[in-house]
A and B are shown apart, each in its own frame.
Chain A
Amino acid sequence: MKTFPLRKHAARIVVLGFFALPLLATVFWPSLESGEQRALAPAPGVPANVAEALAWPAKAEAWSNDHFGWRDQMVAAYARLRHDLFDRFPTNQVIKGQGERIFLAAHNDRGQGAPYTALIACGWQFHDHTRIVNELKQFDATFSARNIPARLLIAPSGPVVYSDELQPWQAARCKPDQVPLRGILAATELPESARARIYFPLSEVWAMRERVEFFPKSFFHWGASGAGAVAGLTERHFWGRGEDAGKPIPLSAKVRPSDVAYLFSGIEHNSMADEADFNGTTITPCFGPACFPEQQAMMDKLAVVGRYVNSAPGLGPRLVIFSDSFGYAGAPMFARYHREVVYVSTNALVRLDAAELEQLRKLTFVPGSDDEVLFLYHDATVLFGRVGTDLDMLFPTVGK
């Protein structure tokens, strides 16, 4: 019997075996899910016609990119290597600051876009002064016309509050007294009535920075203590409620992973962060669409919604909060001052049809009520045009 000349073919066997490892892993240990907050590409299937056959390679490539063997391990290993050697994150959406602080640096789609867009709050390549002034005028006009006492709280974001902890070249371009929102709010085109509806407490936040950790070091969003401090400032600014209003909400602090950790799989950035702890308080928290049984179908689409009922006596009226993702930690902290806080994230407003929008308006803008209404956004999203976008969706104008 002829024996296989192993020595002669050794290099081919070794190299082929090496290249085949990920393929074998794909077959035997496929990656079925990921923490990327997106649906992984489906299997391409068998093409049924010429058009599908022509499109098949792109589908197969998308599937292979999402499902090859050891994907998660490889992604994590490379992310850790680059991070430890070069202080780099696997996406341009996150940057390292000085010390332990990290910043969400870019609002783009899956890291595929311009970096540093989140630094727009500092003025980084911001060119839309006139457009944003017009949106703030639109805010005033919209609610004046409807006689709704809506207010707009613009929360300073991490890069603005801790600008001195950015990398030096960024810090040099991110002076708190030169951020674009200051110029926008001081613009002569902005009517006084609009200015009265808007609060951007950057100076106050800077004055409190030594006492209050507004943003945990590895977080994009604010922590409960930061949100609570801004809630107190806002209540006093808009409605004249002081420190004696309501009882402070207890906080529980512990080391937590970053709220944007899914952006850097394989890298750990934990920091001390606090959350509202309603145990033993007069507040009944409720988070999720089930808090609104009468409107659950509509709320299911919005997903990020909540209701906080405070049974303590002598509190302010119902507060309706429309917000970006800052509302998640922000809304509960207003529950100290109000008998009820209704919180609706507008991130998914686009999913609602006309009837559902009407249902939402009925729930949140009640004619003749003493409700207070607050729109809560962080500064970068305001500078990207979020106010105008949300107003156009909430109050669509036929033919516009």
Chain B
Amino acid sequence: MALRCRPCAPIQMLFSSIVFLFFFLPAFLLLYYLLPWKNVILLLGSLVFYAWGEPRFVLLLLLSATLNYGAGLGIARSRGRAKTWLALGVSANLALLAWFKYAGFLAEAIRSAVAADFPVPHITLPLGISFFTFQGISYLVDVYRGEVIAQSSFLRFATYKALFPQLIAGPIVRYRQIAGEMGKRVITNERMLAGFQIFELGLAQKVLIANTLALPADRLFGAEHADLSAPTAWLGLLCYTLQIYYDFCGYSNMAIGLAHMLGFSFPPNFDRPYSARSMTEFWQRWHISLSTWFRDYLYIPLGGNRRGPLRTYVNLGLVFLLCGLWHGAAWTFVIWGCWHGAWLIVERMGLRVGLDRLPRPLAQAWTLMLVMLGWVWFRAPDASAALTYFGALFGASANPSGHPWQAEIASLELVAIAIGLLGALLPTGHAPGALVRRYSHGRWVYLPLAAASVTLCACALASGTYNPFLYYRF
């Protein structure tokens, strides 16, 4: 799952790729089901999965596993120096993340700030490092807090760290959430069917909706913004809003479904966030594994809302500043984080009460608009592109008829938008949410539907591999 290519990511084995669906998955599942050494197969399969895109970073992944395994044992076995082990472990995790993800960004920022001229390191970002770093930190903190027993088997711990369904794009699965399943997993028929059906749902979200809307979103964000009329710019933003949701939610659902097929229970990562009535509620529904991670391992340790309003606002601001940075080392992500943090603070100051009194559709529309405006920062390659896109959104384009919306959006995209909006906006408890929940329980009766849907998605993916060569210079 690529939130955005910045810098351009190397190849990776996506769940929604031919090589994963048609080759890796059946071969892996066959070995996993047939052979008795489940964790060995799972670890090896996960390393192959990771190595597909990042062969040279496999060692880094194993280093991270070793580091956290050792620090976890250190915390558990030397209670007197548990805090030291915790500090060492967390610092090492953060140091790895800081080096690989932020060193270049920081160096560039310092160079600009002091107008100095020194070389900025160009460091390749290892796949999934943000996810497996947070995973490691949560493990160490949970062991320190006594919420989970440190894992004594390196094989089991390394398997958890490398577990391929959640390795490169989450959800951020905490060790304590699957600690029991690292030793023994039961795959009933119901669980297997549920896994298949949830995987299928995610695949359809990703392939049929997100991929369909990715093209117009990319084209409109990549167009000359001065050529976009306000309605065209809003349509582009709507496409991106739905694309990012169905892309990420779809990927999370595929991960959750795969986990079921392997005998693991991953927590849900999305709960129809665009139906939220406030930004606060949005963050209770969007990327839940990340927002709860920040809540449990940063916001609450900072004091949460227990130390008065001012401290609460500072905590919220800091958490969302870091949340923005977590998504990417760029100022646009910082601004995106600050945008969300600022609205959460404003809601704490009293806006939330006002929103609660509004009719539900109005509060939803307000929240969705704020979220959409935030996505401009998230999607734009830099601040200046974001500002020109804002200009287009608010009708400041010099040549608004230059790039008509029809050039990017036709009946196919309109249907994807309609289905996407329907699935995203209806509040919990309404169809299709309830339908999806029933569907996800794993029943034989839904199997033909799931199989047909996977077949359709597979055909769509196959279609993407067909690249006829037109004489380039007709």
> A residues touching B (Cβ–Cβ < 8 Å)?
7-12, 14-16, 18-20, 22-23, 26, 34-38, 53-54, 57-58, 60-61, 64-66, 68-71, 74-75, 77-79, 81-82, 85-88, 90-91, 93, 104, 107-112, 114-116, 167, 169, 173, 220, 260, 262-263, 265, 324-325, 347, 378, 380-381, 384, 386, 389
Given the complex, which residues of B lie within 8 Å of A167, measured CB to CB? 406
Q: Is B468 an interface residue (CB 8 A)?
A: yes
Docked complex Cα distance between A8 and B471 (Å): 56
Docked complex Cα distance between A23 and B23 (Å): 6
Q: Is A64 a contact partner of B193 (Cβ separation < 8 A)?
A: no
Choose from B11, B30, B411, B469 the contact partner of A87 (Cβ within 8 Å): B411
A388 CB to nearest chain B CB (Å): 12
Q: Is A22 a contact partner of B11 (Cβ separation < 8 A)?
A: no
Knowing that A71-B465, A107-B473 are A-B contacts, what are 15 other residue pairs whose CB atoms are under 8 Å apart, sorted by A's residue number?
A11-B188, A11-B190, A16-B26, A18-B451, A19-B29, A20-B30, A22-B21, A37-B470, A60-B19, A64-B23, A74-B458, A75-B463, A90-B463, A114-B219, A263-B470
Docked complex Cα distance between A23 and B460 (Å): 17
Choose from B27, B53, B55, B474 the contact partner of A23 (Cβ within 8 Å): B27
Given contacts A64-B18, A86-B412, contact A53 B26 (CB under 8 A): no
Given contacts A57-B52, A74-B463, contact A38 B469 (CB under 8 A): yes
Q: Is B192 an interface residue (CB 8 A)?
A: yes
Given contacts A57-B52, A263-B468, contact A347 B18 (CB under 8 A): no
Given contacts A65-B19, A324-B473, contact A20 B26 (CB under 8 A): yes
Given contacts A88-B410, A265-B466, contact A19 B19 (CB under 8 A): no
Q: Is B118 an interface residue (CB 8 A)?
A: no
Docked complex Cα distance between A79 and B13 (Å): 25
B159 CB to nearest chain A CB (Å): 20
B189 CB to nearest chain A CB (Å): 4
Docked complex Cα distance between A82 and B19 (Å): 24
CB-CB contacts of B440-474 with A at 8 A, as 1s and 0s?
A: 00101001000100101011101101111111111
Given contacts A65-B19, A116-B407, contact A23 B26 (CB under 8 A): yes
Q: Is B329 an interface residue (CB 8 A)?
A: no
Considering only residues 408-426 of chain B, those with a C-beta below 8 Å from chain A are 410-412, 415
CB-CB contacts of B11-40 with A at 8 A, as 1s and 0s?
A: 101000111011101110110010000000
**How many residue pairs bridge A and B at CB < 8 Å?**
174
Nearest 10 Cβ contacts at the A-B interface: A11-B192, A74-B462, A78-B459, A110-B467, A11-B189, A169-B406, A20-B26, A86-B412, A65-B465, A22-B22
Given the complex, which residues of B lie within 8 Å of A65, measured CB to CB? 18-19, 465
Docked complex Cα distance between A241 and B198 (Å): 73
Central interface residue in B27, B451, B473, by most chain A CB within 10 Å: B473
Q: Is A386 a contact partner of B473 (Cβ separation < 8 A)?
A: yes
A164 CB to nearest chain B CB (Å): 16
Q: Is B474 a contact partner of A57 (Cβ separation < 8 A)?
A: no
Find the B residue at minimum CB distance from A221.
B474
Choose from A35, A87, A347 the contact partner of B471 (Cβ within 8 Å): A347
Q: Is A22 a contact partner of B407 (Cβ separation < 8 A)?
A: no
Given the complex, which residues of B lie within 8 Å of A173, measured CB to CB? 404
Q: Is B383 an interface residue (CB 8 A)?
A: no
